[in-house]
Amino acid sequence: MTMNNKLYCIANWKMNMTIESAEAFIRELKNLPLHNKSELVICTDFVSLSSVVFAADGTIIRVGAQNVHFEKNGAFTGEISTDMLVKSGAEFVIIGHSERRHIFHETNNMFNKKITATLSADLIPIFCVGEKLEDRKQSRTGEVLASQIKQGLAGLSESACDKIIIAYEPVWAIGTGLTASIHQVEEAHAIIRTVLESNGFDGKNSSVLYGGSVNPGNAGELLNIHGVNGFLIGGASLKVLDFFAIYQNFNKEIN
């Protein structure tokens, strides 16, 4: 459920599209009846980024990247800078996704540097936070979320954080088919907003999204949860009609 917060429907394609399939997706999507009830964002891989920006030109579709390095340039083989993203036409960057945390062992300190660099380049960070299953079983969800947010946003001003999108993604619900319950999602989003407020940020009016096996069947119910301002969508964003079906929920009356 939205308060005064901006709504977002964001696709995270991960490592799944070629240039050809990405362009075909955008061609099909932009011919569907798009609306302006939420921001529609596609986060693609670096190789397809410019092609997706070109294919989406003249539409309401906005484009983001899935990662970024915190240095502007240098001897960082295989990395992508904020300047490269800006010149490619990206507007958003996913930072701190659980796959970056747990597969590539990136730290909250690294995410803090990435967020700082992203904001300096006038890109919008999509900062992901979320607990693992063992954390939830040990009732450590609040502790984990607080640590990730405090360290990830350390040293940032309130005005800077107004530009940041927070995405709550319980690790145990990403790509597993499991979805957090209404109570679990509402509780986690409330914790996130409380932590933001306690650290001097505007938790009430921040855009906090949910991600974790969102699909056309559960999107409507999830969007009506108090404190949920949209989705970061993985697997269901790879098929145009599934993604569009989720997106259409933003065009309905939200309680």
Measured CA to CA, the distance from residue 174 to residue 178 in angstroms comes to 7
Q: Is 131 a catalytic residue?
A: no
Q: Is 99 a catalytic residue?
A: no
Which of 69, 97, 99, 189 is the catalytic position? 97
Which of 39, 99, 131, 169 is the catalytic position? 169
What are the residues facing 41 on neighbouring strands? Answer: 10, 62
Active site residues: 97, 169
